[in-house]
Amino acid sequence: MKDLLKLKTSLAEDIENILNAQVKIEAHASALYLAMSSWCDDQGLDNSADFFAKQANEEREHMLKLFNYINNRGGRAISPEVTNIPTDFDSFRGVFEQTLLQEMFVTEQFNNIADKCMKAKDYVTFNFVQWFLAEQVEEEYVARRILELFDVIGEEGTGRWEIDKHLVKVTFSGQE
């Protein structure tokens, strides 16, 4: 019997499923950061609002990168439903704490994907997710560094204004 399955797709079903799950996670992250952007804007935290708007765009790009990969490999990418996006946040600091936790969650997911690829001997997808794993180092670094500003500067007096002013300068210079 002719092998029709391979003609259609190069992706194993469980790999396609876990990649589609990641599409949804990135879409959720994008929507969450956009909500944070709006909240920061409302609080008069201009730079933070910009920071999160940019983050939201980046997460959408991550989503599309995964989305296109699935389709390019003959799979079927699913445009995800995004639900449960908060509209209100507890505090300025809390927003960045949540950001760090969110990024660490994403890193964990990509570790799981890499693990699945390894077990399925899908080194093509394994290679594809390397980019994301490297990206997560930067994402976690930036979130953690910004969070440290809350201790270094302090929120008292004009502290919140100072933090908002300085957080745009946090950049990741790589491993050198």
Partner 1 sequence: MICPLAEVEEVFKESFGAVYQCSRKNCYWLEFKDTTTAFKISDFFLFKKTIDAIDIEKMLSDTSRTADFELVMPHRTDRCFILSAQDVLNLREVLAGAKFMIELNSEVKRILRKEAVLASF
Identify which of 172, 173, 167 has the alpha carbon closest to the alpha carbon of residue 50: 167
Instruction: Tell me the two tokens of residue 65.
Output: 């990168």
| 62 labelled binding-site residue | yes
**Count of residues near Fe ion by CB under 5 A:** 3
Interface with Fe ion (CB under 5 A), residue from 60, 62, 73, 160: 62
Interface with partner 1 (CB under 8 A), residue from 14, 44, 68, 76: 76
Decide: residue 15, CB within 10 A, 0-12 exposed, 13-18 middle, 19+ buried. Answer: buried
In this chain, which stretch among 7-15, 33-41, 42-50, 94-102 interacts with partner 1, using CB under 8 A? 7-15
Identify which of 115, 140, 138 has the alpha carbon closest to the alpha carbon of residue 125: 115
| 59 labelled binding-site residue | yes
Interaction between residue 28 and Fe ion (CB under 5 A): no
**Per-residue contact string for residues 35-74; x = within reach of partner 1 by CB under 8 A:** ----------------------------------------
User: What does residue 101 show for φ and ψ, rounded to 5 degrees?
Assistant: -65, -40
Identify which of 87, 157, 97, 114 has the alpha carbon closest to the alpha carbon of residue 22: 114
In this chain, which stretch among 5-13, 93-101, 126-134, 166-174 interacts with partner 1, using CB under 8 A? 5-13
**Count of residues near partner 1 by CB under 8 A:** 10
Interface with partner 1 (CB under 8 A), residue from 1, 88, 151, 175: 1
| 55 labelled binding-site residue | no
CB atoms within 10 A of CB 4: 7
Interaction between residue 7 and partner 1 (CB under 8 A): yes
Buried-state track 123-153, b at ≥16 Cβ within 10 A, e below 16: eebbebbeebeebbeebbbbbebbbebbeeb
Which amino acids are annotated as binding site for Fe cation, given as ranges? 26, 59, 62, 103, 136
Which amino acids are annotated as binding site, given as ranges? 26, 59, 62, 103, 136
> Which residues are near partner 1 by CB under 8 A?
1-9, 76
